[in-house]
Amino acid sequence: MSILALGLLFGGVTLAVMFTGMPIAFALGSVAAVFMYFFMPAASLDTVTQNVYEEMASITLLSIPLFILKGAAIGRSRAGRDLYAALHAWMTRVPGGLGIANVFACALFAAMAGSSPATCSAIGQAGIPEMRARGYSPGFAAGIIAAGGTLGILLPPSITMILYSVAAEVSLGRLFLAGIGPGLLLVVLFAGYAVWRFRREYATAHAIYSAGPMAARNSRPSDCSAATA
């Protein structure tokens, strides 16, 4: 069997086994072990455990459990809500400031926790109800948090970048530095979009509200979602 065919077969079998619902760690390991048994010298199976240990005993890779530990501690604490409350107080005078506060809170939390799902759940818990109460449409409120969460993998320290630096054997410090610029640019763009979108939703809601009492009764003035739907 040619190397290309073997590679394709390996990739296909790995995907197929993963889609059965087998935990990914066991799926990768068992497919690799079976392929080693059939296509490699018998002695190679004896070194499987040693290889696993040697790959794991890398000080770069082992920073991930510690980052997760730190993220879990921050996620359990009140840090997310406090951060959000402080930014909200700062931004409350700016039109659309609530959206900006959410984007900034996501960015700061992402920089602390280094994980996108943790950021979404920590800031979203406080941010989405607040935005909904102020008349942001559900899609817009969720979109701000989802977009802000993606900053978690871009702003250093990012767990994804640690994995990339190990897999691609590039400098982790330089990767982190490279993430700062695009990360901050995205923060500014997200905040700008939040203001623009807020003004548009506000204008639509205002137009419906001032169109007449019937229209106002049909769509509550505090709820832009009915207007944009």
State the residues that interact with other proteins by CB under 8 A.
17-27, 29-30, 33, 45-46, 48-50, 52-53, 56-57, 59, 62, 65-66, 69
* Residue 4 in tokens: 């290309």
Cα 117 from Cα 114, distance rounded (Å): 9
CB of 31 to other proteins, least distance (A): 9
CB of 177 to other proteins, least distance (A): 18
Residue 124 DSSP symbol: H
Dihedral sign, Cα of residue 10, residue 16, residue 18, residue 22: negative
The nearer residue to other proteins, 25 or 214, going by C-beta atoms, is 25
Between the two ends of the chain, the Cα-to-Cα distance in Å is 57
Among 204, 197, 194, 199, CA closest to 224:
204
The nearer residue to other proteins, 52 or 211, going by C-beta atoms, is 52
Phi (first) and psi of residue 171, to 5 degrees: -70, 125
* Contacts for 115 with CB less than 8 Å, ≥ 6 apart: 67, 68, 71, 152, 153, 159
CB of 119 to other proteins, least distance (A): 19
The nearer residue to other proteins, 29 or 143, going by C-beta atoms, is 29
The nearer residue to other proteins, 2 or 49, going by C-beta atoms, is 49
CB of 45 to other proteins, least distance (A): 7
CB of 224 to other proteins, least distance (A): 32
The nearer residue to other proteins, 2 or 53, going by C-beta atoms, is 53
**Strand segments (E) across 71-211:** none
Cα 121 from Cα 145, distance rounded (Å): 9
